[in-house]
Structure 1
């Protein structure tokens, strides 16, 4: 590569990402309030600056390959069948089955957030169509809306489910440094801070403020 160094390659990679078209250009029609509410189920998982929380497409800029890699690396999903099986599992037993055995509480919100996130990623990766992604999201609405009465309740159960999942990873890893979270996903403190931001009534960018919990209980309308 001659005189090219790591810094140069990283800068080129960043430039390449920012040259990609915005998701809002490819999908310019604003979501209805119901649609935004359904997309917002994945908001706790969507922490990075590249994440889009107001479009069905999960990223701010079009990058289908990124979603394909993410699904393969994080979930071993590379086909439509594998995606459908994982969604069925999250909608059915999911991680909350273990939490219920341990705590007597089944935090549906953790599985619902992952379900919504994977549905959006599957759409971006081309494993399901846009219509199929919306159908998948609609399928989980009754159970979520029937379980919780606010985004705060949803957030509390999400954090509980995440903690059980993360503690399970720590226990199974047996790695040096597991006690302080080394080698594990983002810390609980990071997740806590993200949820506080989503719940902050002064955060105008929060999708939970743009689509309050009760909107799903009323007839849909444009935003």
Structure 2
């Protein structure tokens, strides 16, 4: 399914979410090491930063992309769209101090990563 015509723009959030999952799985399987995984993820940040201005906008678009995908994926995939919506709501909840989306402000996406010194 071509998502861009339905959404009115490319499904950047959905594509990034799938890309991040593939990188995470590749790291877990030993196909890429930690620095390589971070490098791969870093290459995908620019389109996300250029497209969205907040975690809320990113989440909204991710949910829309997943909804379109689920329509064509069929019942073979586990997890409901409502589960995804609820997960996004927990990530966006201003009272959820454990949410990584609350711990790292969206504006951090525009800052270059700083090397960690031990």
- Relative to the length of structure 2, the TM-score reads 0.87
The answer as to 2:84 corresponding to 1:191 is: yes
Shift of 1:200: 0.3
The answer as to 2:106 corresponding to 1:202 is: no
**Per-residue Cα deviation, 1:94-139 (whole angstroms, up to 9, x for no partner):** x7xx111334332210110111121122111101121210110110
Task: Determine which of 97, 105, 127 is the counterpart of 2:31.
Answer: 127
Distance 1:161 1:220 in 2: 28
Task: Determine which of 3, 10, 15 is the counterpart of 1:106.
Answer: 10
Structure 1 unaligned blocks of 5 or more: 1-94, 171-181
In our comparison, the structure showing a higher alpha carbon Rg is: 1
* Correspondence 1:138-177 to 2 at 5 A: 138-170=42-74
Structure 2 unaligned blocks of 5 or more: none
Query: 1:193 aligns to what SS in structure 2?
Result: helix
Distance 1:183 1:119 in 2: 23
User: Alignment length, in residue pairs?
Assistant: 115
The answer as to 2:104 corresponding to 1:216 is: no
Shift of 1:187: 1.1
Distance 2:61 2:72 in 1: 17
Query: 2:98 aligns to what SS in structure 1?
Result: coil
Query: 2:44 aligns to what SS in structure 1?
Result: helix
Distance 1:196 1:103 in 2: 21
**Per-residue Cα deviation, 1:153-205 (whole angstroms, up to 9, x for no partner):** 000010010000000123xxxxxxxxxxx554211111111100000011111
Distance 2:110 2:85 in 1: 27
- Relative to the length of structure 1, the TM-score reads 0.48
Distance 1:102 1:168 in 2: 13
